[in-house]
Structures are given as structure tokens and as C-alpha cells.
């Protein structure tokens, strides 16, 4: 069972590049006292840049500070992240932090394309440099518009990636909306990935539109895949799937205590879950209404 601890942070024009939103919370344990949560903030033109919010590890609803400058800014006008950058996962290797991110580029139809980029930090997450300024998971004929939201883990001598792939587009209330699925692939390094991963979740697109950023939690031989499930009504709920091998998943399961609230900042949707173990118990960061327009909050697992 989970217990919500409340809203943690919402952008309200603290900086010109932080006009609104704080979405896709991506936590990393900075030190024993601090959890750093990378998020994407929007400017007044709706363009996203990655910054962070530091919270107290013992009381994650308490904000210690937030970034005064983006750690990943927009790319050039012809780059794959010209119109937005959103974090998806962090991998720590040999003292360096590697941040996988979603790079957004707007168009007429489809209205946007999203591919996966990679940035590296050598100063413990204070700044990042985009590697090669090209996607490490570029769009392909197999994933022509969406290859995004990669959650990557380093397991033994390989890197495992669960990501969001497109299944085409559907018009809902006069607006094109992508149909998505979660796909899996692995690589011997951070830069070389297959053209398309294997679909791992079977969904009925007649009722479910798709999924957003997955988050995989592994302890001993048990795996959980947490994700925001998007309905045809364009709203999200949190679900998780269970697995014994990270490939075959049972679910969806509804986490008790993480349903939409009756009122307030997370009364319309709950999305973008990120699970972290802290001091022998688990906490979960997530977004609420308006895809992070009302900020992100935190919950903790209780007996």
C-alpha cells in the first residue's frame, strides 16, 4: 500500500525557462542526505529544458534547492531536440552520470517527433553535455515518429532498455494522439542500439491509447515495471507489471493508495511514476494534472 505525502514542486515562473510544469520526475540519489529529481520545465512557448529539484532524502516532500540554470538546454533549430528536452533515466558508470532524454521536434503532421538522446555529466550531475548532438536511439522505419522515454539499467555486462515506441496515430476529439507500446532491447554499450525493440506488453488499443515513460524496479529476482497508462479519454492512471525475468510481464496491477485524488493537483490524472529505495523503504515520485502542469509529488510505501 502507498501513502501520498503531497505536492513537492511546481514551476511558477521562478525563471524565464521555468514558466510552468515540472514533468517526468527522474530521481537520482545524490548523497546520503539528498535526492536530486531531474524534471523538464516549460518556458512561455511550451519548450522544455531539463533542470533539477533537490529534496531531503528522509523527507522527500521537503525541497532543499532547485537549479538556477538548465542542465540540458534546447538544441539548434535543426537538431532533434530543437523544441524540447525531457529526462527519462540516469545510469551511473565509472563515476560518470549518463542521462537519457527525450528530444522533441515539432511538425505539422505528425505534430511532433520524439527520439532518445544521451548526455553525460562529469561533475556529479551539476551540468551535462549532450553526446554527439545526435540521438542514440534515432527514429527508424520501424519506429518512425516515437522512440522515446528510455529507461536504461546497467545489469552485469549489458545495458537493458525499456522504451516507448509508436504504433501509429489516432484522432481523438479532433487531435492526433499517438498509440504507443513498451519495447525492450539490450546493448553491450550505451551508444549502439537495435532499430526496434521487442514489444513486451500486450494492450488493447480499443480501450487503452498507450503508455508513457516506464520505470523498472528490480530487487533480488523480482522485477516491477511501473508506467502511466493512458486511456482513450486522454487521462492517465498508475499501473505496474510483475516479472521474474524482466521480459515477460503480468498485469496490469493497480497500486493501492495511488489513485487519483478526489480534488486538488492530482485529481484528474496520475502519471510518470519513478520508484526509488531510500533507507530500506520505497518512495515514488509522480506527476499530476495537465501532464505535470501542477508539478510533481511523492508517495511512500507503507505496511
- What is the domain-level CATH number for residue 263? 2.115.10.20
Name the DSSP class of 292.
Answer: H
pLDDT in tens, 95-128: 999 999 999 999 888 899 999 999 999 999 999 9
Cα–Cα distance between 283 and 5 in angstroms, integer? 10
Number of structural domains found in the chain: 1
Cβ proximity of 240 and 226 under 8 Å = yes
Q: Over pLDDT 70: what percentage of the chain?
A: 100
Cβ proximity of 76 and 100 under 8 Å = no
Detail the DSSP E strand segments found in 173-301: 175-187, 198-199, 208-211, 215-219, 222-231, 236-243, 250-253, 271-278, 281-287, 296-301
Give the torsion sign (CA, 254, 290, 173, 167): negative
The three state secondary structure string of 2-41 is EEEEEEEECCCCCCHHHCEEEEEEEEEECCCCEEEEEEEE
- What are 3's strand-pairing partners? 300
Whole-model pTM? 0.96
- Range of 183's domain? 2-301
Cβ proximity of 106 and 112 under 8 Å = yes
pLDDT in tens, 50-88: 999 999 999 999 999 999 999 999 999 999 999 999 999
Amino acid at each position: 500500500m502507498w501513502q501520498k505525502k503531497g505536492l513537492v514542486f511546481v514551476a511558477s515562473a521562478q525563471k524565464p525557462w521555468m514558466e510552468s510544469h515540472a514533468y517526468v520526475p527522474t530521481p537520482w540519489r545524490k548523497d546520503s542526505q539528498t535526492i536530486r529529481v531531474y524534471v523538464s520545465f516549460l518556458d512561455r512557448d511550451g519548450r522544455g529544458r531539463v533542470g533539477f529539484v533537490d529534496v531531503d532524502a528522509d523527507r522527500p516532500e521537503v525541497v532543499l534547492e532547485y537549479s538556477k540554470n538548465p542542465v540540458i538546454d534546447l538544441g539548434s533549430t535543426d537538431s532533434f531536440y530543437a523544441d524540447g528536452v525531457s529526462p527519462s533515466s540516469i545510469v551511473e558508470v565509472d563515476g560518470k552520470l549518463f542521462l537519457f532524454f527525450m528530444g522533441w521536434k515539432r511538425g505539422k503532421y505528425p505534430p511532433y517527433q520524439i527520439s532518445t538522446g544521451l548526455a553525460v555529466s562529469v561533475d556529479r550531475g551539476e551540468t551535462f553535455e549532450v553526446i554527439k548532438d545526435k540521438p542514440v536511439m534515432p527514429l527508424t522505419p520501424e519506429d518512425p515518429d516515437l522512440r522515446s522515454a528510455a529507461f536504461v539499467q546497467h545489469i552485469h555486462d549489458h545495458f537493458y532498455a525499456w522504451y516507448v515506441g509508436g504504433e501509429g496515430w489516432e484522432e481523438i476529439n479532433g487531435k492526433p494522439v499517438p498509440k504507443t507500446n513498451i519495447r525492450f532491447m539490450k546493448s553491450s554499450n550505451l551508444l549502439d542500439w537495435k532499430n526496434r525493440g521487442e514489444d513486451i506488453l500486450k494492450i488493447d488499443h480499443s480501450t487503452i491509447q498507450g503508455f508513457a515513460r516506464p520505470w523498472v524496479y528490480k530487487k533480488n529476482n523480482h522485477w516491477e515495471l511501473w508506467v502511466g497508462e493512458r486511456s482513450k479519454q486522454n487521462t492517465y492512471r498508475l499501473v505496474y507489471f510483475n516479472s521474474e525475468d524482466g521480459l515477460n510481464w503480468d498485469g496490469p496491477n493497480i497500486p493501492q493508495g495511488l489513485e487519483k485524488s478526489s480534488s486538488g493537483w492530482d485529481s484528474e490524472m496520475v502519471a510518470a511514476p519513478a520508484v526509488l529505495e531510500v533507507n530500506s523503504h520505497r518512495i515514488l515520485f509522480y506527476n499530476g494534472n495537465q501532464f505535470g502542469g501542477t508539478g510533481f509529488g511523492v508517495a511512500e510505501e507503507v505496511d
